[in-house]
Structure 1
Amino acid sequence: MAISTRQAVAPWFLWLLLLFNPVARVLANPEGDALSKLKNNLNDPTNVLQSWDPTLVNPCTWFHVTCDNDNSVIRVDLGNAQLSGTLVPDLGVLKNLQYLELYSNNISGSIPYELGNLTNLVSLDLYMNKFSGPIPPTLGNLMNLRFLRLNNNSLSGQIPQSLTNITTLQVLDLSNNNLSGPVPSTGSFLLFTPISFQNNPNLCGPGTTKRCPNGPPLPSPPPFVPPTPPSSPGSSASTTGALAGGVAAGAALLFAAPAIGFAWWRRRKPQEHFFDVPAEEDPEVHLGQLKRFSLRELQVATDNFSPKNILGRGGFGKVYKGRLADGTLVAVKRLKEERTPGGELQFQTEVEMISMAVHRNLLRLRGFCMTPTERLLVYPYMANGSVASCLRERLPSQPPLDWPTRRRIALGAARGLSYLHDHCDPKIIHRDVKAANILLDEEFEAVVGDFGLAKLMDYKDTHVTTAVRGTIGHIAPEYLSTGKSSEKTDVFGYGIMLLELITGQRAFDLARLANDDDVMLLDWVKALLKEKKLEMLVDPDLQNNYIDVEVESLIQVALLCTQSSPMERPKMSEVVRMLEGDGLAERWEEWQKVEVVRQEMEMDPRNHNSEWIIDSTDNLRADELSGPR
């Protein structure tokens, strides 16, 4: 009987121990338990979850997991990790989770209804998996959700009406599934393009090609009006028609003469004067949910494109700060007014590419204006400018970027470029990655901007251009010498941008000649590293408030990205993982072994063709080559 009593008391004793022992309470971490169950439910052939150790106090030290200052999990990044298996309902306990990234895996099964408990979720990316079953209606509880991408799965059933309650939703993609029934025609769903619902054969209603039973008819295309057949030469009708046509043409010419004269006078006037044309008269561009602004609307927003509102200048035009009628601040990029070759093509390229590339670390196109006289793009206004301006052009009252912010910028920019390279079809090559093109929002989150030089790339082709465009100091050596660009040219530019973040210096600066230093930032950094002067690399504005190990790891990533051979540079997806602490040590050790051999070859006087230190200073004529900044 006594043994039985002790057995009955034991659970109460453990409960009291847990209640009054703070160490025991810390060890009971529901978020870590939930992620451990997720790990156990997934097949991980590449060991990306190797660091997920359930014996640790909390999961904040695990790779691909990000926590806030209170040690709450706010982000899980497992995209493109070759995972399979199923999700677990326990994910619903991650109440502070903001980003759940599980795209491009082989995860199957149903989407847990418990994800509807994640009310702080901003982005849910489950696309390109093997999920089946219905879309949980509980996702309608996610009132902070901005990105919902469930495309390229095997989801079935109807689209939950509850999703229309999410007023914050900016990106919705449910394409390439087996969904059926009507597309909700109320709420925010009216804003989304047919692309959001395509390749769901059993869907009907708005955004599809199928009318729902007892539903309103779909918009029909305009009727085809066949051309009038020519009349026989000898008929009286032909003679009468010709006479009437001649009279009408003469009258039209008489009345049109003042308009022609007015148009000629307008062309002679300075280009600061505008002649607005309604959008309906220029229908060649239709881009779904992008707002089409009128020219008058943007004139008012920018105070008639006043010089005092200029935010920046580039090779294809100027960027103006504007305020819309509802008070929203925007940045308006106005292409050059001269009808220069390539100007209109530049506009078309930017509109098409930016509209298809949507990611929180990419500058999202809000709208556009296209008239016979003007081509304008409207972006969200970035309150904190660019990384370059924060590093080198900040006001005395503006504090410098601290080290944690620089680390976050490096990771955010890498994620944005990785999305361009790996998740756009065809892939997008930026071709001018630099600190001036990494913008910062209100929370200093990195946003990759200026796709003016980007090119749509086929997965297997390398684009060859007739003219190299970019910025001196950021251009990869193979692009400079051959004109061939690939995603590896972006990796090189990103590596230089990392060095800008660390040093605070320009990629190309003639002022360094005053100290007999290299004008190219990469060469200057390599020279100091050879002399083991790491402390001289770090931006003095940091005032020694940085972590040596993190600086060293960021320099290692930068050097791996700026190798002379594009084949030896990592992919941007690999860069993201290295910045998260996964795989950098192995990659760096491998690189050092190769460098030992190269340096031995350099020391041998019989070898004069070493490419370890790139000499990019020959034949420089200006800080910028052609193209926008």
Structure 2
Amino acid sequence: MAYISTNFLLFFFTISSISFHVIFTATVIEDLNNLQPPPDFNSTITKNCITNPYLRYCNSIPFNLDEIFKSTIVASHLCNISNNTNCVESFPKIDLHSQPKIAPLYLSFTFFWKYCPLTLTSINLSNNSLKGNFPSDIFHCSQIEKLDLSHNNLSGDLPVQNFYILENLTFLNLSYNDFSESKISDKHFFERFNSMSFICSGILPNHKHFRIKAVLLLIGFPVFVISMVVFLGWLCFWRPDFLPRFLQRRNEFTMSILKAATDGFSKRNLVGKTGTVSVYKGVLRNGSEVRIEIYLDNMSRENRRRFVEKSKILVQLSHDNIVPILGWCDNRRFRALITEWIGGENIETWLSNSAPQWKQRVKVILRVALVVCYLHEEWPEVGYNLKTRNVLISENGEPMITNFRIDDHHCSAKKIYKFGMFILEMVTNKRPGKEFEKGESGFVEWVKLNYPDNMEDLIDKRMKKNGLIVSQCAEVIGFGLICTDISNGQRPSWNEILDLISSTLSIESASPDRKRLHLDSKGGHKHAHYRGSMH
């Protein structure tokens, strides 16, 4: 009796100074705004602390009179709302079950929880749609024995360690909330309370959800693995250009890569077609422009294998005047050879449209001579079609040889003959296949007929010339006739060809080009032989 009386002495003072009519009819907000502490309020709480020093506000000297007074007002209202039997003598419980309109309001009165009555042993705030984190102010009421916060929308982490403040707590109900799944390592916390305290609270894993997750994991993980295997397989076999560079198969292209590079082999990217060969311009994923030469003829497995083996040789060709061959595509439906895209026109068109002067033609002849000598010594098995329409002229005037193949029975004499024809075309600007009835043989007969007496008829009439140029043209034509002479089996060797051309074209204007040629060529150590012969 002394304990309860002392604890509520402050309530007696407040209630005796205010009519019961006001307490029961006024709202808590109105009372907090309108009521003021009585004049002797400070002495009253001082006496209370002397009588019972364990009262909570006794630990806050100097007293916050405003907060303490407000807490008594809230306590009076809470005591009545909670249907306590005698609000003056006892305050055993706070029962705001299913009162969602006022429960959040009373929870917001921090000063009440700070000085909550020591007689309070039960708090029920269930079914109030409370939101946010756990209401930590409740921990001020360290003497409580029962706490029910079930059927709310509380979320976040549960402050497990703070529950050790509530030493008398024997009943806890946090069910049906949305707390975060906590990795609570302290087993004593769950041993202290019944498992029913945490039903659908989020604190413990929901077994139904766990089963769903387990089923999803058992089904989803294999599906994920299979999908990844399929995806990686697609990358490796169809679109390896999406892989990191060190994982890509060098020089090997797939049909999907070529299809993407040409927008599905669209007509606007088709730059040429002859028989079963189609030529497309494409752009690879890395932005490189390429020339894609596609062969649609059916091939046996053995021929496809040989095509790949030959392509492996062609990609190794390395010279400034050889269009780089990037790789190949070996597909059951078609084969393709991929080279760098070189802008400009071919030599045939260049001769017809630009009418280049002798110095420019000298540069082309020297460059081509270096290339054919490089191929002869480094790659004798590599054949090429050395016609003016198959040799490109780049924007900076460099000849670029294309259209390579692997000859099973390579013939040096045949290559020398083609080189001779190329030289004759460069000087005369004539087209053997178009302007002569007998083709190449008719062209050679025409040159022989006019050489050397009618040089003016042989040399391209649009080219500016003087005596020295005419003399050099005569020597070059004579050399071309030697290369194309099939009447005897004695043709000059490749070393002799380079020596003869170098000495014949040793005019001052051509010398810088030749010297630069020697420095720029990429034929490896064997090119030292060419350089030595040209000086």
Query: Structure 1-normalised TM-score?
Result: 0.38
Q: Which has the larger radius of gyration?
A: 2
- Greater helix percent: which structure? 2
Q: Normalising by structure 2, what TM-score?
A: 0.44
